[in-house]
Amino acid sequence: MKIKAKDKTITDKQEIKVFLEKYGLYAEFWQPETTDKSTSEPLIRYKNQIEKLKKKFGYSSADVCAMSHETANLDKMLNAFVKEHHHTDDEVRFTVEGEGIFGVNPLTDPLFEVYVQPGDLLVVPANTRHWFNLTDKKNICCIRIFKENPKWEAVYEMPKEHIIS
C-alpha cells in the first residue's frame, strides 16, 4: 500500500495506518495463511483474517470479485466507480492479486490516493466520498467483505450536510 497525498507519499505501513485513521479509514496487511499452492481459493487462503475482521466490525459475508481486460464491459463497469461517490455501507476490499487506486475526498482536507496491492486490506467507511480506478495493468482480484444485504448502490450526489456553502 502507498498513499499519495498533496505534499507527500507515504509507504511506511504504520504511517499509512495513522494517516488513514485521521480520516476514518482503516488498513491491515495480511499474509496468506497457507502456502499450499493447490489452495487457490482466496476465501480459504485468508479464512482466519476474514473471520477476525468480521468480528471486529460486525460484517457477515465475503465474496471474491475480479476485473481485468478480459472482463466484458470493463470500461462501463469502471465508469460507475471512477466518479466520486459514497455508499451507506462500508466498502471493504482485500487485494489478492493485481492493483488499484482508491481516491478519497475527505472534504476538510485535500484529496488523496491509496494505491492497493496484494496483501492490502482497506476499509472505506460508509458515507466517505471516494472513487476507484484500476492502474494501467487493468487487473485486480479482491475479496469483498460486507454486512448482510449490503447497499452497494453508489450515491454520486454530495449529501446535504457535506455541502460547504
Instruction: Compare residues 98 and 150 and give the one whose CB is closer to Fe ion.
Output: 150
Instruction: Compare residues 87 and 138 and give the one whose CB is closer to Fe ion.
Output: 87
Nearest residue (beta carbon) to Fe ion: 91
Instruction: Compare residues 22 and 151 and give the one whose CB is closer to Fe ion.
Output: 151
Place of cell 465508469: 79
Contact letters (x/-) for Fe ion, 71-100, by CB under 5 A?
--------------------x---------
Q: How far is the CB of 118 from Fe ion (least distance, A)?
A: 20
Instruction: Compare residues 10 and 91 and give the one whose CB is closer to Fe ion.
Output: 91
Q: How many residues bind Fe ion (CB under 5 A)?
A: 1
Q: How far is the CB of 48 from Fe ion (least distance, A)?
A: 26
Which cell goes with 163? Answer: 455541502
Spell out the residues 6+ positions from residue 47 whose beta carbon is closer than 8 angstroms to its own: 33
Q: How far is the CB of 132 from Fe ion (least distance, A)?
A: 6
Instruction: Compare residues 91 and 99 and give the one whose CB is closer to Fe ion.
Output: 91
Q: How far is the CB of 19 from Fe ion (least distance, A)?
A: 20
Partnered with residue 133 across adjacent β-strands are 101
C-alpha dihedral over 86, 32, 34, 66, to 10 degrees? 50
Q: How far is the CB of 105 from Fe ion (least distance, A)?
A: 12
CA–CA distances in Å: residue 146 to residues 19, 69, 113, 141, 153: 24, 26, 22, 16, 13
Which stretch of DSSP H or E encloses residue 113? strand 112-116
CA angle 151, 105, 25 (to 5 degrees): 65
Residues within the interface to Fe ion (CB under 5 A):
91
